[in-house]
Amino acid sequence: AERKMHIEGEKEDTKGSFQFEEVAFTPKALGDAKTKELWDKWGLDQNSYMKRLSFDEFFSAEQKDVFIKDLFASDAARKALGVSTGRNGSWGGVGPLSSFTATDLSCSVTNLDFFNKINDLEDPAVVRDKGALTKCFDEFVDGVPLSDELRKLLVMEESEHYYEFSDEERREFIFHIFRRVCLGGGMCQYEDDIRPYLETTKSMYKDLVSVQKNPSTKALEVTSVVYQLEAAEGDSGTLFPERASRDHSFCYLAIEPSKRTVTVWYLAHIPMF
């Protein structure tokens, strides 16, 4: 459900009930030297961050709008959550929000079997020989070169295999992570094999969401609630700078209600040229 929220009322009324403070957070995935090397190679370290903040009230999904509003109005967010100015490594603020668009994502997937069907696709094959990606002529979409069938499947509706993943499946947070690692940041060197992308997706998903066993079914379930903040305007600026790619910039809010934390993963995709 995508909704645009316009925040009414005077400036004094921009604070609600949630209070936030930043907590130390380094994704376990990036503690692994090999993964960190890939992360940097894919350009995911540029104009980007992952920060975690704790909050002090019970959260439920009906409070989505007030939660996001309170988050960006908080002093903690002003210190912790910058927005790219469009110049590499230069950060500004967005301030209390006057409007934003946030989309609910699904977290029903609990393992990588979700992606298995990619291995079975043919005419053209997407993956060969246990993991090698099938190359194709470069197609540029939103300033990003798509040089193999996997990247075409992820973003190009004209791809023969785009609709192998339904709209519902594309709303899964794990699909979003996979897409982001495959397409990378503004300065990205690509892999020739799908396996590093899948392994990084798995470890990053584990860092960003929490799972627990359902007591009655014994099945694993994700307990986190995830939103994609697609656009936001505030007193000090906008979520992404004008020269950032619209489709490849992102901001995710992964809320863990039982632990009362929110993890923010932000990247402004600034094309090299």
Q: What would the pLDDT profile of 156-197 be if each residue is shown by its tens digit?
A: 999 899 999 999 999 999 999 999 999 999 888 899 999 999
Q: What is the pTM of this model?
A: 0.92
For residue 273, the model assigns a pLDDT of 65
Q: What percent of the chain has pLDDT over 90?
A: 74
- Encoded tokens for 180: 């982001």
Q: How far apart are CA 252 and CA 1, in angstroms?
A: 15
What's the confidence (pLDDT) of residue 206? 95
What is the mean predicted confidence (pLDDT) over 16-20?
86
